[in-house]
């Protein structure tokens, strides 16, 4: 197929523009986060949603507002006409657009093999988890740690496993799972911090933002910027649950110590223990555990529990900037 | 200076830098490769710089339109295309758009778009098989468009008016190609 024909078709324009719109959105959002020195993970996560959501709808939205936006005369006035680059022929033969679409194809392969395949694999493997679990005995360190936590508590189960394993499942019957190896490795304070973090995930699952974001991200399977941004959103989710845990326990050191145990006991090939959790959200949480533990430890050491305002005016200014600039990127 | 104002200033400066960078990135391809889409001052300039021998311009056009075209845009890469816009003498709004695109390519929507086609008929334009469409554009303004193939190009003439003048314009283009 002639790539020039595809580039001028609506699917072609959607692919190209959604990629560049997300790239520009990511630059604007990062600029806003730095300019206003926004550190709170809840606020940062909200800003990062712009990068996932806006490029998904921007092209059809702009076309609806101005159908002539895809025409040559609009492209002349555009801030960036991407086709000018994509139409360049390398060595006078191969259009740059071919390399661009190969790049998107590579991003799609990364999405399939790094995100979808592990999720499907873990979904099948997770069926064994329920059979091996036991409840902690009264008076055990786990029960003592749980009793010291405020608020509603989920079911807690011990898995017979020497590895350090910790995860939660959400849904109608939320539960926290710990391996026997983890229970032996942690003090009561550390167990309390670890379970508080998982309770944070369970509480936040009542507003299943991550699942919605993941579904949006699936629709942008071809977009490497969306892939990177989704991972950053997941990382912010971990930071949010760290903050929940610190708020519940008042002890950021204990949680940092738990993370250090995870971080330093793993081998290089598999730096974070991975076990299987049923349910999409559980798998997303599990996926998120593999990410950037070290930065979380540093963040906990720097006392993260500082409250920020909602930054609504900055959010809407950033959103308006993204929408305005991207309108002129065709 | 308050912290909020300073943050706003930093944001403004960085966004301005981003816009400038995008403008620069947009300019670079024209320096790397000739034939990219750009504006031209006249039809003769298009012919001279892009070496396009056949640029189809009307020999007739209603007096209410201003000459020369308010905008001429052309490219030879990745395919040849020339778009001319004409304004009415009393307004700066594009009321006539003539485009020619190397077949089999098609131009995406331009400024004059028939949002609803009331009638679509085959029309014999000096022996050429043309498609004549009559309908309305935005704000319910009557619009018409005629398109046909000529010397390897798909030519389209769209106008914010009834088709009478449109056909006369189109006929004047087929009578004297190259003008």
Distance from C-alpha of A293 to C-alpha of A308, rounded to nearest angstrom:
23
Instruction: Give the CA dihedral A141, A142, A143, A148, nearest 10 degrees.
Output: 90
What does the pLDDT average to over B166-178?
Answer: 77
Average pLDDT for B102-108: 80
Q: What does the pLDDT read at residue A24?
A: 97
The H or E element spanning position A282 is helix A280-289
Most confident range (mean pLDDT) of A293-297, B42-46, B93-97 is B42-46
Choosing among B29, B77, B116, which should be mutated to test the A contact, i.e. which has the most A CBs within 10 A? B29
Question: Mean per-residue pLDDT for B103-114?
Answer: 78
Nearest to B11 among A3, A32, A85 (CB): A32
Q: Which of A224, A205, A230, A223 is nearest to A291 (CA)?
A: A230
The answer to whether the CB atoms of B18 and A28 lie below 8 A apart is yes
Question: Which tokens belong to A323?
Answer: 């929408």
List A residues 3-62 in contact with B (Cβ-Cβ < 8 A).
3-5, 7-8, 13, 24, 27-28, 31-32, 34-37
The pLDDT value recorded for residue A306 is: 60
**Measured between CA atoms, how close is B158 to chain A, in angstroms?**
13
Contact B77 A87 (CB under 8 A): yes
Inter-chain CB proximity B11 and A317 less than 8 Å: yes
Task: Tell me the chain A residues in contact with residue B113 when contact means C-beta distances shorter than 8 Å.
Answer: 67-68
Residue in B22, B33, B78 nearest the CB of A4: B78
pLDDT recorded at residue A31: 96
Under DSSP, is residue B104 helix (H, G, I), strand (E, B) or coil? coil
Q: What angle do CA A230, A236, A240 make, to 5 degrees?
A: 145
pLDDT value of position A264: 66
| Beta-carbon separation of B107 and A72 below 8 A | yes
Whole-angstrom distance, CA of residue A21 vs CA of residue A24: 5
Say yes or no to pLDDT of B145 above 50.
yes
Contact A71 B85 (CB under 8 A): no
- Chain A within 8 Å of B70 (Cβ-Cβ)? no
Question: Can you tell me the mean pLDDT for B71-86?
Answer: 89
What confidence score (pLDDT) does residue A92 get? 75
CA distance A180 to A144: 16
Instruction: Provide the CB-side half-sphere exposure for B76 (13 A, CA).
Output: 14
Q: Which of A78, A84, A318 to mutate to test the interface with B (most CBs of B within 10 A)?
A: A84
pLDDT digit of tens for each residue in chain A (330 aa)? 577 778 888 899 999 999 999 999 999 999 999 999 898 888 999 999 999 999 999 999 999 998 888 888 888 889 999 988 998 888 878 889 999 999 999 999 988 888 788 777 766 665 556 557 788 888 888 899 888 888 888 889 998 888 888 888 877 788 899 888 889 889 999 999 999 999 998 888 777 777 788 888 889 999 999 988 988 888 888 889 999 999 999 888 899 888 888 766 554 444 444 444 445 555 555 555 555 777 888 888 876 656 566 788 999 999 999 999 999 999
CA of A63, closest CA in chain B: separation in Å? 10
Per-residue model confidence (pLDDT) at position A161: 83
CB contact B120 to A (< 8 Å): no
Please indicate if any CB of chain B lies within 8 Å of the CB of A76. yes
- Give residue A136's pLDDT: 87
Q: How many CA atoms lie within 13 A of A254 on its CB side?
A: 21
Cβ within 8 Å of B, A 93-132: 95
Quote the ipTM score: 0.78
Residue A107 to chain B, least CA–CA distance (Å): 23
pLDDT for B33 beyond 70? yes
């Amino acid at each position: 197929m002639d790539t020039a024909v595809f580039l001028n078709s609506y699917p072609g324009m959607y692919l190209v523009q959604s990629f560049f719109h997300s790239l520009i959105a990511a630059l604007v959002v990062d600029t806003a986060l730095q300019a206003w020195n926004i550190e709170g993970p809840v606020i940062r996560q909200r800003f990062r949603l712009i990068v996932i959501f806006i490029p998904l709808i921007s092209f059809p939205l702009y076309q609806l507002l101005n159908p002539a936006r895809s025409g040559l005369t609009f492209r002349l006035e555009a801030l960036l006409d991407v086709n000018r680059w994509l139409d360049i022929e390398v060595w006078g033969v191969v259009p740059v657009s071919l390399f661009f679409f190969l790049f998107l194809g590579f991003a799609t392969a990364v999405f399939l093999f790094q995100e979808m395949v592990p999720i499907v694999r873990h979904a099948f493997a997770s069926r064994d988890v329920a059979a091996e679990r036991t409840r902690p005995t009264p008076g055990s360190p786990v029960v003592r740690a749980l009793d010291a936590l405020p608020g509603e508590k989920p079911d807690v189960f011990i898995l017979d496993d020497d590895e350090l394993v910790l995860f939660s499942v959400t849904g109608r019957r939320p539960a926290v799972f710990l391996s026997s190896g983890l229970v032996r490795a942690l003090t009561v304070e550390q167990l309390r911090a670890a379970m508080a973090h998982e309770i944070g995930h369970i509480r936040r699952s009542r507003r299943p933002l991550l699942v919605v974001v993941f579904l949006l991200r699936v629709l942008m399977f071809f977009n490497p910027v969306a892939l990177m941004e989704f991972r950053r959103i997941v990382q912010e989710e971990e930071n949010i649950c760290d903050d929940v845990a610190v708020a519940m326990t008042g002890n950021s050191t204990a949680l940092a110590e738990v993370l250090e145990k995870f971080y330093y006991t793993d081998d290089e090939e598999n730096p974070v223990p991975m076990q299987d959790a049923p349910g999409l959200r559980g798998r997303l949480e599990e996926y998120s555990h593999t990410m950037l533990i070290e930065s979380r430890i540093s963040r906990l050491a720097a006392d993260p529990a500082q409250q920020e305002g909602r930054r609504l005016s900055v959010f809407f200014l950033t959103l308006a900037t993204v929408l305005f600039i991207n309108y002129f990127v065709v | 200076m308050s912290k909020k104002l300073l943050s706003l200033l930093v944001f403004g400066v960085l966004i301005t830098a981003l816009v400038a960078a995008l403008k620069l990135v947009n300019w670079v391809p024209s320096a790397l490769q000739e034939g990219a889409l750009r504006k031209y001052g006249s039809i003769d300039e298009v012919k001279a710089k892009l070496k396009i021998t056949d640029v189809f311009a009307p020999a007739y056009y209603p007096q209410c339109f201003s000459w020369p075209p308010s905008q001429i845009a052309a490219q030879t890469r990745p395919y040849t295309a020339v778009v001319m816009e004409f304004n009415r003498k009393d307004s700066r709004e594009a009321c006539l758009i003539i485009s020619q695109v190397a077949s089999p390519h098609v131009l995406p929507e331009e400024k004059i778009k028939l949002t609803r086609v009331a009638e679509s008929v085959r029309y014999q334009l000096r022996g050429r098989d043309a498609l004549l469409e009559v309908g309305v554009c935005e704000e319910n303004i009557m619009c018409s468009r005629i398109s046909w193939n000529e010397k390897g190009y798909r030519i389209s003439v769209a106008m914010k008016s009834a088709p009478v003048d449109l056909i006369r314009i189109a006929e004047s283009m087929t009578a004297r190609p190259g003008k």
